Amino acid sequence: MALVRRSDRPGLDRLVDEIEHSGGYAAGYIMDAVKEGAIETLIETVESDLGAIDVCVFNLGAQFGNLSLAETSLERFELAWRLTSMALFRVAKSLLPKMVERGGGTLLVTSATAAMRGNKGQLAHTSAIGGRRLLCQALSAEFAPQNIHISHIVVDGAVDSPDTLGRMIGRDRLAEYKHSLGQGKYRLLEPGHIADTYFHLSQQHPSAWTFEADLRTHQDLPWWNSP
C-alpha cells in the first residue's frame, strides 16, 4: 500500500510502521500535488516500487474555512482548483490509461458537502469540488464501460481527524464536541468506518457499481435539510 501526503514525514513513517507491524506492507511518499509533474512522477514511482495500482483513493480537498469574496484572492481561488479538480484530472490522465490496459481498476474520490451546493464563504472550495463532481461523472461515462470503477463519496459532515479538523479548531474542542451528545451518539465521522464503505465500494461487482454514496453520522442532518 502506498501512502501519500504533502508534509510530515515522521507522521507518515509512523503510519507505515503501524501497518507493517500489523502484518501489512506499506510505503510512504511526500508529494506536493500542485507542483508540475509531481503527480505524474509519483504514479510512475509507486508502480515501479510496489506494482500496479489497482485502487486509488483520492483524498485531496481545499477547505480553507469560510472566507468572503473580499478575503478570497485569485491565488487562493486557483489553488483550490489545482488541489482538487486539476489534481484529479492529472491522476486520471496518468493512471486510467494504465488501468484500462490492465483490464480494470478503481478510483475512489473523497468529496464533501460543498460539492453539492455552494454555501456562503465557500467560493473557492465549492466551485473547485463542485466541478470535480461533474468531472467524476464524465470520467465514469468514459471509463466505466472499460471496467474502471469511479466512485464519488460525499462525506457530509465533520471527520474525527485530529490532524486536520483538530488542528483547525483545537484537539480539545474536537474531543469535547465528539462526546457532547453522550455514549453511542456520534457527531463525527470515524475514519475507520468511512474506510469500511470505501473497502466495500472497492469490492463491488461490475454488475452493481455505486457511483455516488453519501456518508454522515446518525446525528447529523444531510446538506439538503435545513435545521
Q: Does 35 bind its own copies (CB under 8 A)?
A: no
Q: Which of 2, 46, 96, 99 binds its own copies (CB under 8 A)?
A: 96
182 binds its own copies (CB under 8 A): no
Residues 6+ apart with CB under 8 A from 124: 62, 64, 67, 72, 76, 77, 79, 80, 81
Q: What gap in Å lies between CA 200 and CA 213, rounded to an integer?
A: 11
Question: Nearest approach, Cβ of 60 to its own copies (angstroms)?
Answer: 15
Q: Closer to its own copies by CB, 169 or 221: give it.
A: 221
| Grid cell in block for residue 35 | 507542483
Which is nearer to its own copies, 25 or 73 (by Cβ)?
73
**Alpha helices for 51-104 (secondary structure H):** 74-81, 87-102
204 near its own copies, judged by CB under 8 A: yes
At its nearest, how many Å lie between its own copies and the CB of residue 136? 7
Least Cα distance to 84 among 118, 119, 111, 104 occurs for 111
Nearest to its own copies of 12, 110 (CB atom):
110
Q: Which residue has the cell 453511542?
A: 184
The mark string for 52-71 relative to its own copies (x by CB under 8 A, - otherwise) is ----------------xxx-
